[in-house]
Structure formats: structure tokens, C-alpha cells
A and B are shown apart, each in its own frame.
Chain A
Amino acid sequence: MELRALTALELGAAIQKGEVSVAEATQAALDAIGEQDGTLNSFITVTGERALERAERLQKGVKDAASPLYGVPMALKDNICTKGVKTSCASKILGDFKPPYDATVVEKLAAAGAVSLGKLNMDEFAMGSTSETSYYGPTRNPWDLDRAPGGSSGGAAAAVAAGLGWYAIGSDTGGSIRQPAAYCGITGMKPTYGTVSRYGLIAYASSLDQMGPLCRDAADCAAVLDVLQGRDRRDSTSLEGDYGHLLASLTGDMRGMRIGIPSECFADGLDDEVRRSVLAVADVLKRRGAQLVELSFPVMEYVVPTYYIIAAAEASSNLSRFDGVKYGWRAEGYEDLTDLYHRTRTQGFGLEVKRRILLGTFVLSAGYYDAYYKKALQVKAVIKNAFDQAFTCCDMLLTPVSPTTAPRIGESLSDPLNMYLGDIYTVSVNLAGLPGLSMPCGFDSKGLPIGAQLIGPHFGEGRLLNAAHAFQRDTDYHKRTPKGGKRA
């Protein structure tokens, strides 16, 4: 059996049937990592021994499996705290930080029988769109090794696309799950804010951060979210209630579903090939009974500035705790306390992180708070309202994930503003706390994957996953595998 060709659910079923052992699956993933990750650089830390030990232990409990994902090897973005296992946020400043506790999602995954292969590369502190800002070097896109896998969950997307693990947990503050999923041809989901506990996720922007799955298809995403979701008493922003049993609700039936197509999302600045592929999604879903609704979403030009003001402001505060005193790396040669702070932070953070800290400090500083930060919170309300309006006439929105396909490594960082503008289709979803799904919907002439985004109202995960599931029944983009990945 070619294990790496299976989806997470297929592998889970094979483990249940005894066709393959947890250890065999784990070893297959570790072998793949050994073979390919020297080039891809999708992992920062591989915990092979731990994984194999755990696989042996899990094998004994296969009969009492708590989840269809029992025994399936996976990996975590390196901003998710794992007790005793290095968690770096891909930053020099965290050094060899080994958290004294597990994130809630890590506990939940453990209870569901997940085997963690290790920690995945990312943009430093999840700030970036290409995974090039990592202190541990850039991750490469398995579809074209000269290109970026997207970011900030680039390691997660590259690893899953290349078959180094069956699924991954990433985080999404402004598109960090959806955009790399699109660039790497896999399915990823940013859930409704508050439905997955943030306890143990090292914060970038607390009001926008949310963890979610990066998988090979929509069904796998549903299964992973079934494990992750739920109110956590340790996260005050986590919500009561859930979106129901997602996996069981995947019928592929799209009859009566109204799919909104916001004209502003298909206007200038969007690559033609991307536009064509994303709009083709609408046709596929229409054939399955969906109804298409043209609508206007008149706030597009405000979403990026609003997002960057709020995200940078929160980041400037969240990242203040990294000062070389309690954990992580400390600079040398300091003269006194203030000098210690300055040296550690100046040398410990990369350029993009420093840029956002400064921007965030600026928008919160005396004299600018009202003009920038408060204004952004007001516009956030306007954006939220625009979504509420849109969802009165449709059940979900279809948009691109990114204006282009994956960029070449080295061509994005020189122009930060331009890089920020690339987030235009994804950031509003975080501002409004909505669920957003990214799925492969075609390839451009260079052979690079194109992603389509589905956006739903709060707790609308089920309908988004069902639409993606319907689409994936009629198409095979999600089944194609990258040459660089040698998945099948």
C-alpha cells in the first residue's frame, strides 16, 4: 500500500482495519521527511523518537480509537506550545524555548490519538506571506522549489502537500492557513473566531488569531476540526456551542445553497488565470444545485489598512514579553537593564517583526491612537456590517485566496507594502471573525496551484466544508501531487 497517497481519513481507516500499524505510518512519514525535508525545510524540529514511541503505545489502543484520525501522523506549526518540545515561532529570540505546558489543541489532538512528527517552519511570529522571514531559513514550495509555499503557515502547507505528514495544524491571523494552502494545492480552513481555543498559541494578534487544519481534502479538514473545536475555560474568547459533527454532515448536496460572488473581489489586480479558475468553481457548484448571486462588497479598499493597524498594534504589545529575562535568547555585552532589552530585542527579532512592532507602537502612541487605532476599530465594525449585509442574500461567498500564485523566493520581502496588499482577499475574514476555507481549484500555466476561498457566516463551517466536499467530488485538483513532493 502506498501510504503517502492516502488521505488522513483513509489512513485512519486502514489503521483501524489493521492493514497498517501506527508505527509503519509514522516511519513512512519520518522516512519521507528524511528524504525530502533537507530541500523543503518545512520542519524546524522533527520529534522522530517521540513519535515512534507514541506510535507503539497508540497501537495498543487501536480498538478503542476515539477518532477516525487515531494513529494518523501529523505536525504542528511552531507557534503552538508543546510541553518539553522546542517551540520557536521561527524566531531567534525564543532560542530553545521549551514550553512548560501543552496548548489546548495539543491536548485535544493527543486525546484523539494523533502522532506528532514535530514542529513546522513558518514566518517569524507568523508575520509574513511567504515563510521567508523564518530565522531557520525559508521553506520551499514542493510544486516549484524556487518558489515560496506562502505564509505564514508555509511549513505546514509544504509538508502536507509533499506528503511528509497527513495533516497539519496551522494558525491564521490574516490568511496564514488559507494562502499557503492555496499556494501548495491543499485544503485549509480558518474556523470561526473563538471556536478553537487559543490557549497555548503564541499570540501574534489576539483578536484575529485562530488555529485550524491544513489537509489534503475537505473531509480531512472536517475530521480535524471535529477534534479541535469546543469551548475552553482557559481561553476567555472561546465561544459556547459548536458547529456540530462536521464529518457526518458532508453530503455534497448543494441544492438551495446561495453562493455570493462579490464583484470587487474579481476586479483589477487579480491574475487572469486565477480569476478564471476561481469563477469555474461557481459553475461546478451550480451544477450541483447551488444558486449564484452577484453582489457588491464595497469595503475592499479598507480591509488591508484596517487589518495591519489592528494586527500590528496587538503584536507590538504581545511581543513585548520577549526581552531576554524569562525565556528564550539573551544578547551579550549589555551594560544595564535597558541595554539588555534593546540588544536582545534588536538582535533577536527579524526585520519584518520589527517593522510591525514599530508600526503597532506608532498607531497606539500618544497623539496617533484616535487617528489610526481607534479609526481601524471603527472600520472593523463597518467591515463586519458589510459581511452581515452580504449574508442576508447568500449563504457563502466565493473569492480568490490570493491575487497570484506562489511567488519566487526572494521577490516579496523587499517591498513590504506590496506584500501586505497580497492579503486583500483573506484579512477581512479575520477582522469579522468568520470561517474561511481555501481549496485547490486549478493550476496556472506555470503548473502552480490556484486556490479558491469560501467564506461563511459565524459557525458556518459545515456549509463551507460541504461545498468544498461537493467540489472535490467533481474535480481532482486536490488529488494532484507535486513533483517536488513525490507524494504518490
Chain B
Amino acid sequence: MKITTQMVDYISQLSRLSLPEEEKQTMTAQLERIVDYMDVLNQLDTMGIEPMSHVFPVKNVLREDVVEPSFDRADLLANAPVPDEEAFLTPKSVE
């Protein structure tokens, strides 16, 4: 599988990462080697095999609809990089 810099640009954009040009070149080459190696999986016929997302057959793990106290707002906001008493702050995010 060929990995192009365009593909790396695309997935970088999706991941909100901006690699410097040199890093991008190295990364493209490394990803290509890794993905090439992963193509070994194509040797295995998996027709009709159900993809396994959960390894245990656990199901219906449910919680009762009972309110528990929320956290202290100050504790939740304490780690915000821009301090504010009420909310998390971001640059303009609404149109």
C-alpha cells in the first residue's frame, strides 16, 4: 500500500496535527513501511468471520436511572488552561 504525502496531509487534518515538512516526509515513509507490513493480514481469508470488537460475550451492562450529585464545578474547571469561574473558554467557536 502506497502512502502519499497527500494522504498524510488528509489524516493529519482529521487528527488536528500539523507536521513540519521534514517530519512529514519521515512520517510518510514510516507509515508506508508499517502499513505495508500490515498487509500481511490479507494472506488470511477472513470471509464470513464476524469482526470481534468485544472479546467477552458481556452484554446489557446498565445503570439505574437515579441521580447522583454532580461534581463541584470548581474541581472540574481547575485544570482548564484558561481560568474562568463558570465555563471552559475557547476562541470563537460559534457562527
Contacts and interface: CB of A to CB of B under 8 A. Distances in A.
Are A and B in direct contact (Cβ within 8 Å)?
Answer: yes
A320 to B, nearest CB: 8
A382 B49 contact: yes
Contacts of B41: 302, 305-306, 309, 372, 375-376, 379
B65 to A, nearest CB: 14
Contact of B80 (A327, A337, A361, A372): A327
Contacts of A358: 8, 11-12, 15, 17, 27, 31
B81 A329 contact: yes
Contacts of B93: 337
Given A341-B16, A362-B7, A336 B91 contact: yes
B67 interface: no
Interface residues of B, number: 52
Contacts of A361: 11, 14-15
A1 interface: no
Of residues B15, B58, B63, which shows the largest number of chain A Cβ atoms within 10 Å of its Cβ?
A: B15
Given A327-B80, A362-B7, A382-B44, A193 B33 contact: no
Interface string B31-50: 10111011011101010011
Contacts of B61: 236-237
B40 A374 contact: no
A421 to B, nearest CB: 8
Contacts of B80: 325-327
A338 B71 CA distance: 29
B33 A417 contact: yes
Nearest to A98: B79
A384 B52 contact: yes
Contact of A194 (B12, B27, B46, B58): B58
B85 interface: no
A327 to B, nearest CB: 4
A357 interface: yes
B14 A207 contact: no
B82 A346 contact: no
A100 B77 CA distance: 9
Contact of A375 (B46, B55, B75): B46
A466 B71 CA distance: 43
A471 B8 CA distance: 49
A101 B19 CA distance: 34
Contacts of B3: 362
A323 B76 CA distance: 16
Given A306-B41, A327-B80, A416 B19 contact: no
Contacts of B69: none
A416 B30 contact: yes
Interface string A170-213: 00000000000000000000000110000000000001000000
A325 B90 contact: yes
Contacts of B92: 336-337
Interface string A359-379: 101100100000010111111
Interface in A123-153: none
A474 to B, nearest CB: 34
A330 interface: yes
Given A305-B37, A337-B91, A433 B17 contact: no
A372 to B, nearest CB: 7
A378 B51 contact: yes
B11 A365 contact: yes
Given A302-B41, A334-B91, A323 B16 contact: yes
A325 B16 CA distance: 14
Contacts of A354: 17, 19, 27
Of residues B10, B19, B49, which shows the largest number of chain A Cβ atoms within 10 Å of its Cβ?
A: B49
Nearest to B26: A351
Contacts of A357: 15, 17
Contacts of A97: 79
A345 interface: yes
A286 interface: no
Nearest to B3: A362
B78 A100 contact: yes
A330 B81 contact: yes
A449 B55 CA distance: 33
A290 to B, nearest CB: 27
Interface of B: 3, 7-8, 10-12, 14-19, 23, 27, 30-31, 33-35, 37-38, 40-42, 44, 46, 49-56, 58, 61, 63, 71-72, 75-76, 78-82, 88-93
Interface of A: 95-98, 100-101, 193-194, 207, 233, 236-237, 239, 301-302, 304-306, 308-309, 316, 320, 323-330, 334-338, 340-343, 345-346, 349, 351, 354-355, 357-359, 361-362, 365, 372, 374-382, 384, 416-417, 420, 431-433, 458
List 8 A-B pairs, minimum CB-CB distance, nearest first. A377-B51, A327-B79, A330-B81, A378-B46, A433-B55, A381-B52, A305-B38, A341-B16
7 contacts: A96-B79, A98-B79, A100-B78, A335-B91, A355-B27, A365-B11, A417-B34
Given A337-B93, A362-B11, A432-B55, 17 more contacts: A100-B71, A100-B76, A100-B78, A320-B16, A326-B88, A327-B80, A330-B82, A351-B23, A354-B19, A361-B11, A361-B14, A362-B31, A362-B35, A365-B14, A378-B46, A382-B49, A417-B33
